Structures are given as structure tokens and as C-alpha cells.
Structure 1
Amino acid sequence: MPQGDYGDLKVGRLLLRETFKTGESVGTARTLDLEGQESNPPLTRAELVWRHDNVTALESGCVTPLTFTDKPERNAYVTVDSVSAEYTEWRNDVVTSDWKLGLTRLGSDAEVDLQSRLTGVVRVNDFALSGERWHAPPIGHYGYQTGTTNPTTMTRTGLDGAITVYRGIPTGASPRWGCTPANYLNGRVRLTSGGTELCGVDQSLSPTGWALTNGLVNVTQSGTGRLDVQTYTGGAWRSKVWTVYSQTGTEVLAWDGATLLRNGPEHVILRLTKGLNPGRLTLDLALRRGSRIVEGYLQRSTSADLKVTLNTAEAYTNTSAQGYLVASSDDIDGNRFACGSARTFTADANGGVIKSSTTSLDFWLGVVASQATLNTNPTFETDGTGWTAFGGATYARSNTQAKFGSWSGLLTTGADASPRYEAATTAVTAGASYRASGWINPGSALPAGVGISVNWYTSADAYISTSSNNLVPTAGVWAQWDATVTAPPTAAKAGILLVAAGTPGAGILVYGDDIRLRGATPSGDAATDLRNQYIASLPETIYAVRR
């Protein structure tokens, strides 16, 4: 925020006090010279030290947005040519940092396009995969082009808002796009230490207290050396804790050092180091703008069995022969873990990646992320509202059985056909695909089956049709019902319901839990898509190109 009568000057991520004057010159290049002072007070000492250290960490040669509060007409893209800062401390009185920046002005967004040069190679892999070339520019960009062939798009919504991901980038294409300097950092990747974002790579960094995030994925440590990989779904961060092993049976309980290898808005790489006494283990964690996964590279000086596994076991589908694993059912947040490697690996019993007798292990971690739940009260945890019984049945909230948490929705059948309870209707889009899912536990056998169905209605609440299918679960055992359904052409509303098929007779108990109607998992977020995007996670360098 502005200090007193001063505005803000932002050089990339770095926040400084706006200077009174900006020196400009034109010759072989258009240069900008800025100088100013940061002081404590009015800043706290920690704030001043952060600004001083981040001034001296600015990287030369990188395209950097420059924005002013009071002189917005000077907003532009620049490169840093020279940096100096004098740090002065009068003990128990005042601390100052007098800084100078020498910049080259590349131009405003009206003058220059930004060009993302993506490498033409994909990861070497053991699965004959060509990968999927993809790219995510900042939130708020415009005029994206890849030549005569257009890519497809998808939208991922995270903490920073909706970011567009371009898929199927043509081979050899270097996308060009426009973006105001003020929008350039929206949706960026950032590394924070102690809650403070760092600029550049020449930084003092603690091996604890850091967080690596892009608004979709957030990676931190979980108490010890474990990795807490969080995914932003349903308006909140959802955690999966992963354990790193330096060799068979030896979990990394703490890291000795941390280093930034790359720290750009589009791509950050953090290296963690562990002494093996003798030898060392390093873990490189990489996160890209717009990505649903964090990439990892584990390396040690001598050969051993390396692995990264879920700390708490989850059932999964073993497709390691195709380069990935994915959970076989939703977790309490509606997500399914996914992980994999570019190289042949063994699946761990908990869910994870193992490579034996090796000095390196590449991997990726993430989830097949759920879409927003459309119906109210899917878990019955707080109360029993939002559901109504039909077909002679009764409905009640129960803590006798629960798949997740402590409560479920109990259906007691009546004598009529199709006893059921249904959620209040929610708005849908005609022709769109939706995912209906839930867990079912019948108290006794139901020969005709039971299922999670969707009733479709017009905008005037007139019934249209039902999308349904039944399963015959074992009495007393939770079973998941999961299907993709399509809204009819005239549908405007939908209600999800738990229903016993046929006329099962009165008095049968059926428990339901985590019953959700959601948008279908979009193309691009399935486990195979995440695997292919990992294979083609192409390094990006950004240039300013005159329009």
C-alpha cells in the first residue's frame, strides 16, 4: 500500500516506494533510471530488509513489468541492467536502503507482444508418449495466437481466479499474446518464505516455512520433511500428504537446506537438500503457471531404492504400465489422487512411485480435481436439510453409518415403487455433461438394485426424464455409484436422488453419503491428461516482440 504521500512502484514482484522522478533517455536503447529510499520507520525493519534483499535479487535480462501508482502512463515492460542498494543502520533509531535501478524500456502492451518460446522437446519416457504441448499465460492476457493453427482452450479456476490453459500448441509454434503490465503477475507462480514472496534466486531461504503455489496447487511441508500437496477445489485448499524416502525404509524427516534454482512468474524451481553422511539427497520441486501438478526430481549420490508415496494409503487403479496411478474412488473432498513418472516404476501399496537401485527418480503429484458441487448438503454432516422423500419412503439424517465423517442420509423404503429421497433442484445447462456420484450402503439385499439418479426439469419445474442406472451392492458394505450424464435439450434444472429400484417393499434401510451433482471432469484434468501434460511440460522463456 502507498506510504504517506507516496505511491507504489512495482518492479515485477518487488514493491518499492514510488520515486518523484523517472529519468529516461533514448539512444541505441530506451533506458529508465530510478532511485529511491526505503526506511524504517515507517516500514517495519523486516519489511525494509525484505525490500533491500529483493532489490539486490532482481535478475537481469528477464522481461519484467514495471508499474506506477502516480505515473501510470509510464507503465511498461523492462529488463534490469544494473542494481545497487546501500544498507544503513543507525542502531535503535533508523534503518535505510538507498537503491538505484538501471532499466531498459521494452515498451507498453500497446507497443509490444509477449512471445513464449517453448522448447521443442518433451521428456524422454518409457511409454512411447509424445505428450501434450500446453501453455498458460497470465490471467487477463489477450490476443493469443499460435500462427495459422489455433490450440484448444480450457479454464481452471483457482485462488487467483480463472486461468486459461491452451492445449495442443502446434509443434514449433512460439505463442504470442498481449498483456498489460498491471495484469502480468496475475495467476503467477510464487515462492514464499515465512509468508513473504521472494524475488529472484539469490536469496537466503530456510528449508522450513516455505510454500510454492500457483493458485491451483500449493506445496508446503507437513510438520516434518513430508510434502503437503494441496489442490484448490470447492473454494478451499484440499491436502494430500506425501512421504519422501531416501532409501528403503528411510523417510526424510527434515531437510537441511533450500535453494531457488528458478523464480519466474511462469515457472519456479525449488531445491531441497538432505545430507546422507556421507553423500547427499536433493529434491527439485517445479511448478508452472496454470498447472494442476507439481513436478519432482529426486536424486542421490549413490544408488538406492527411491520412492515418494502417500502418507495415508488410498485404493488406486494400477496403470503404472502407462506411466501413472489414479485413485479408484473419490476422497472426502471429491478428488482422486494422481501421480506418475516418465520412467518405468513400481506402484507403492499406499499409492506412489518407487524406482529401485537408482540414483534418480522423476515424478509428478496432483489430483483429478472435482468440479463445484451443485446440490446442497451432499455430506449430511451439519444437518439434514435439502432432501425430500418420495415414493412412500421416509428420509432422516443418521449417524449409524457414514462413509465420510459421522453422518449419512437414511432412506427407509415404503410400499410404493421407486422409494427415494431427492435434493432440491439446481440450475443446469441443456446439453452439458454432469457427474453424478455417491456412496450407498443398503441394510439388506436389494435384488433390483439401488442407484444415484438425476431427474431433469424445465425452467417451469416440469419433469422431463431421468438419467439412471442401478448397482446391486452387498448389504452392509459401502459401494460407490459414479456416472457422467447429459442434460436433455430442454433441461434447465436437475435434482439428484438416491433411489431403490422397483418395489422393494417397506422397511428396508438404505444409507447414502457424499451424494453430489457436479460438472463433469473437463478434458484436460483427467489423470491421463495430467500425465501427458507432465511429459510435455516445456520450459518457457518470454521475450518482448515489437508489434
Structure 2
Amino acid sequence: MGLFNWGDLQLGRIPLRETFVATESGGGDGRGLDLEGQESYPPLTRAQVIARHDGINSLIPGQIIPVTFTDKPERNGYFTVKSSSSTYTEYLNDTVTADWKVSLDRVGSDAETDLQSRLTGAVRLNDFVLTGERWHAPPIGHYGYYTGATNPTLMTRTGADGTITVYRTVPANTSPRWGCLPTSYLAGRVRVTTTGGQEVYGVDVPLATTGWSLTNGLINVTWSATGGGSFDVQSYTGGAYRSKLWSPFYSSSGLVGGAWDAATLLRNDPEMAILRLVKALNPGRFTIDLTLRRGSRIIEGYMQIGTAADQLKIRLNTAEAFVDTSAQGYLTATNDDSDGNRFACGSARTFIAHANGGVQKNTTTTLDFWIGVSAAAGGGGTLNANPDFDTNLTGWNANGGTAVRVTTPVKVGVGAAQFTPNGVAQFPSIESNPVPVTAGTIYRASAWIRCATARAVDLNINWFNNAAVYLSTSTLTNTLVANTYTFYDGTVTAPANAATATIAPTVANFPPVTDVIVVDEVRLRLPVASGDAATDLRNQYLAAMPEAVYGVRR
């Protein structure tokens, strides 16, 4: 409910005070709806009035929008814009008003209207002989998704707005149809905000060069002055946004600096937004276009320099280890960060892997790229306590030996656990406290382990029933090089009747006291969801189709 108990009128993304009168007309080719009202400061802020004035004038004739009322919900439905206008009046140091008018044609209610997504464009031309993956994400509240005789596969991603469904392998040459309550249409939308968090409703509006954000609930991108100027790319996992800083360069050493010279929007729809940033090079200019789509886990980018070809790149501020898979069009971190995620990035064209982790191309005037994270399922949460040993060994038990916390050799952070066998026990281990699991569910086990001698060491997952009776063990094993950390990473399935599990780095058989192991980042959690692995993100980038939405009578 609006201020002073006025109802709310939601005109597309624009929130307005509900008008007392809704003038409707029938006959001819359609059913019209004419609305007019006033927004004012006070009671709104001046910035809110200006944003709504600009938003009304940014409505595009022929554009389909949801319209909802608080006090006249029978009028809710989908409409196409015929015309719109707003008169802005400012009484200096007193009041600001926006007197607006819109003229709409009714398409229909959600019960009688299909929304058709026309996925335009083609798979990006790429240097890796890849066909990409055609995908699409309607609003969170949609229903009845239809692609004809062939159904797509689907996955869900949980973001700040809730759980959104992403349809994968959408059949070629089809335009999906779906229904959606007008009141649900905006859930999971792409949003651009400017200084003060004010949402921007159109493209022909002022946009601050700092203080803006670009978000879809799964990824949020802002600009930071840190490190000579960086994109703060925040991925929503584990119930919160997790930040990584990425710095763009227009030459081998040319950082953008604290701020851009101009920012503008090329597109700003619930389905997709494109933000253009401009840096003056005096002479010449450097631009980056950032694209974000509804339901996407990645931000897409395109760099361009107008002067002579130079080195263009975007890389992590803080280096992370990775395996160089640039020949396959992507990079991803070797190991998880503290949030259970791994950075992922790539390009459609041949590139050089930057040493920090990033995309680089020499002697060029353009560079396309994408960045995000390969996110663990279930929010990326680690089930066992204290996986990093940075403070103590709470939550861990030594079986057949002794365990102490050490500060060297450490793989990640400032601590690790050192375990020394007692020389007589079979399969001695350092073992986590039990954690709840669900029978039949796939889990992911990972750890960094090193041993003082060259030998086989196991990462065991021990399964127990609800009476704490041992059932069985799943094992990941490696033969270690002496005094060298090795990363263990694999999936295991909880057996029938499993209710709890422990994760336990284990020295096999009857090891002597000299076979000392050091372990770090020992985690049991749900695996990376199908669709969120780095190669999936790469394929989705290659086949990301611009979307236009039309209303079709059922």
C-alpha cells in the first residue's frame, strides 16, 4: 500500500500512486486504457519523482508491459503502450511534480495471454568449434512453459529474489510461450540502479559513472576504486553475495583508474540490460559494454579501443591458481575459495590466460569476455564444521594417532591440521564430527592433503544410519609425492539408510609414525549443479540469445 493509504499502480517497472480513474474504451481493433496521475515531492524524494518522470517518457510504443492495481485488481493484465508523456514542474526549494499520462491497449489477463519469448540472434562466432547451449530464463513466477513437441531440460538457481528456473537446450527455431501473473512478472528481473540505489526505468536517463549497479539477483556488478579501478562482481551463493574484484586494462599497464568519464544504457528491459562505460584516453577512447540477462550467472563484456591496437585484458585483482584451459575457451580456479566457489571466465575468441586468472589479448582493438563463478549447489555451504583449521581443530577427532594445528605448511589461509599415526592402528585418520545427510543424494568431497613420504592416502566419507551404526565408506584416493599438496575432489552418493556422514583424510593400512599428513580445506558439500560448471557457463555465453517478449492470445 502506498503513502497515505493510496493504492499502488505498477506500470511495468514504474511504481506510481494509483489513479482514481481508469478510462477504458472498447470497439475497433482493441480495448484501450487511459491513465493519468501525479507524482510529487513531497512525499516522495526528488530523485524518485525524477526517476518516475523519466520512466514514463521512456516507455516505447508497441512495448508490452504488465499493469497491476491495488484497488482495481480486476484491471490487472498485459498491455501494449500506445503513447506516454509526463510534465515536470519544479518549484524552487519547495515542491517537484510530474503530471503523467499513458495510453495503452489491453492484450489480456494472464489467463488468456501467452507471453512469447522470441530468442533472436545466433551462436557467437567462436574459435573453439563449439555450438553453445541455447537457454532461456522467464520470470520467477511463470507457468506453463511450452516449446512444442520437444521439451527443454531445466535447472534452478537460487538468488536474492528467490529461485529462478533456467531452461536449457531450448529447441532451435522455436519461440517459447509461457504464462505469468502480472504481479509476478518482475520477480528475477534485470535491474540497473544509480546513486542512492534508485532503479533506472529507461535508457535515455542520466546515469552516474560511480554508484551504479547491474543485477539480476544471481550476480551483482558495481564499480570500485580498489586496485586502480575494478569491477566488483558479486555472485549470490550461500544466501549472500560473494565478491571478486576484476580489473580492466586498455593497454599492458593502462588501468581505468578511480572513475569512468561517462556511463549510459543501451538497453534496459526486465529480460536484459546493456551498460556502456567510456574512458577518455586523450586522444581516443576506451569503452566496455556490460550485458546481463535474466537468470544468468555470468556478466558478459565487450572491450573496444579506438586508437592503435594494444593489449586488452581483464583479470582478478588477487591472483588465484588455475589450470590453463584457454585453448578450450575458458579458465576456472584450481581450488575452491572460502565460499565454496571457483572463479570462471573466458572469451569466444582465442585469448591468453593472464597470470592472475583472466582474459588477455595482445595487439587488438576488441576483446569479448565473460566472468562469474562456478557455484556449488545448495548455496555452496560446507556441511562439516571448521574445514580450514585457521583457528583451531574444533569439530575434528584423531583416530589412531594425534592431531595438532600448524601454521606451516599451509595451503589456504593461516592454518592446517597435521596428523601423525601412532604406528600400530589400521587406517588411522583425522575425522570430522558427523553431519546430517540424505540417502541417495550425491555429495562432493574435497581436500588438500600432503604427506611426509610418497604413498597412497585416502579421503574417506564414512556413512552411518540414524542409530549411528556404521554402514559403509566411500573413498577418493591418490598416490602422493612426498611433501607436496595434492587436491582431492570427487562426488560420492549416500547409501540407503544413511542419516549422517563424516569426512576423514586417512592413511591407508598400518602406516608407520613417519607417514605424517597435513590437511587443509577439507569439505563435504553438495556438488556444483549441472549447468553451473565452468564449461556450462562458457556454452551458455556462446548461445546467449537476446530476447524480445510479445503477448499472444491463447
- The TM-score normalised by the length of structure 1 is 0.94
CA drift of 1:380 comes to 3.6
Q: Measured at CA, do residues 5 and 419 of structure 1 come closer, stay the same or move farther in structure 2, by a change above 3 Å?
A: same
Task: Verify the 8 A CA contact 1:216 1:232 in the aligned structure 2.
Answer: yes
- Separation in 2, partners of 1:244, 1:325: 17
Aligned to 2:66: 65
Task: Provide, for residues 20-73 of structure 1, a one-character-per-residue CA deviation record: whole Å limited to 9, x for no partner.
Answer: 121111132211111111122222223323322322233332221111122222
Give 1:204 shift.
Answer: 0.2
| Aligned pairs (5 A) from 1:107-506 | 107-119=108-120, 121-194=122-195, 195-223=197-225, 224-253=228-257, 254-302=259-307, 303-371=309-377, 372=380, 373-381=382-390, 384-390=393-399, 392-399=400-407, 402-414=410-422, 415-442=424-451, 444-445=452-453, 447-474=454-481, 476-506=483-513
Q: Measure, in 2, the Cα distance between the counterparts of 1:394 and 1:258.
A: 59
Q: Please, which moves more after superposition, 150-159 or 380-389?
A: 380-389
CA distance in 2, matches of 1:186, 1:413: 55
Query: Which residue of 1 is the match for residue 25 of structure 2?
Result: 25
CA contact (8 A) 2:313 2:361 kept: yes
Cα gap change, 1:75/1:499 in structure 2, threshold over 3 Å: closer, same or farther? same
Kept after mapping to 2: 8 A contact 1:188/1:265: yes
Q: Deviations over 1:287-313 (max 9, x none)?
A: 111111111111122322222222222
Distance across 2 between alignment mates of 1:356 and 1:145: 45
State the alpha-carbon separation in 2 of the partners of residues 507 and 346 from structure 1: 43
Between the aligned partners of 1:58 and 1:423, the Cα distance in structure 2 is: 58
Distance, in Å, in 1 between the alignment partners of 2:75 and 2:533 is 44
Distance 1:269 1:523 in 2: 27
Q: 1:365 deviation in Å?
A: 0.9
Moved more, 341-350 or 264-273: 341-350
Letter in 1 for 2:369: F
Q: Deviations over 1:384-430 (max 9, x none)?
A: 4333333x334455555543333334434334222223223333333
1:222 to partner: Cα distance: 2.1
TM-score, with structure 2 as normaliser: 0.93
399-408 or 79-88, which moves further after superposition? 399-408
SS of match in other structure, 1:522: coil
How far apart, CA to CA, are the structure 2 residues paired with 1:186 and 1:495?
A: 39
- Unaligned 5+ residue runs, structure 1? none
Q: Distance in 1 between matches of 2:383 and 2:213?
A: 31
CA deviations 1:346-387 (Å, max 9, x no partner) are: 222222222222221111111211233222332344664333
Distance 1:466 1:212 in 2: 46
Structure 2: distance between partners of 1:256 and 1:353:
24
Of 62-71 and 283-292, deviating more is 62-71
The farther-off stretch of 352-361 and 270-279 is: 352-361
Q: Which whole-Å CA distance do the structure 2 matches of 1:518 and 1:153 have between them?
A: 22
Letter in 2 for 1:247: S
Q: Distance in 2 between matches of 1:66 and 1:401?
A: 61
Contact 2:22 2:35 in 1 (8 A): yes
Q: Distance in 2 between matches of 1:200 and 1:45?
A: 17
Whether the 8 Å CA contact 1:225–1:255 is kept in 2: the answer is no
Q: Which moved more, 1:151-160 or 1:499-508?
A: 499-508
Quickly say closer, same or farther: Cα 1:341–1:478, change in 2 above 3 A: same
Alpha-carbon offset, residue 230 of structure 1: 1.6
Conservation of the 8 A alpha-carbon contact between 1:420 and 1:498: yes
Looking at structure 2, the residues matched to 82 and 386 of structure 1 have their Cα atoms a distance apart, in angstroms, of: 65
Match in the other structure for 1:519: 526
Q: Which amino acid aligns with 1:298?
A: M
SS in 2 for 1:533: helix
Residue identity (%): 58
- 8 Å Cα contact 1:448-1:501 kept in structure 2: no
Residue type of the partner of 2:246?
W
Distance 1:157 1:471 in 2: 34
> SS of the counterpart of 2:110?
coil
- What code does the residue aligned with 2:224 have? S
| Aligned partner letter, 2:524 | L
- Which whole-Å deviations, capped at 9, do the CAs of 1:505-541 have from their partners, x for residues lacking one? 4586543322211112222111111111111001111
Give distance in 2, aligned partners of 1:402 and 1:52: 57
Contact kept, 8 Å, 1:120 with 1:172, in 2: the verdict is: no
Instruction: Describe the superposition over 1:48-102 as per-residue Cα deviations: whole angstroms up to 9, x where unpaired.
Output: 2332232223333222111112222221112222222222223333222221111
Give the C-alpha shift of residue 205 in structure 1.
0.5
- Structure 1 residue 180: deviation in Å? 0.4
State the AA in 2 paired with 1:184. Y
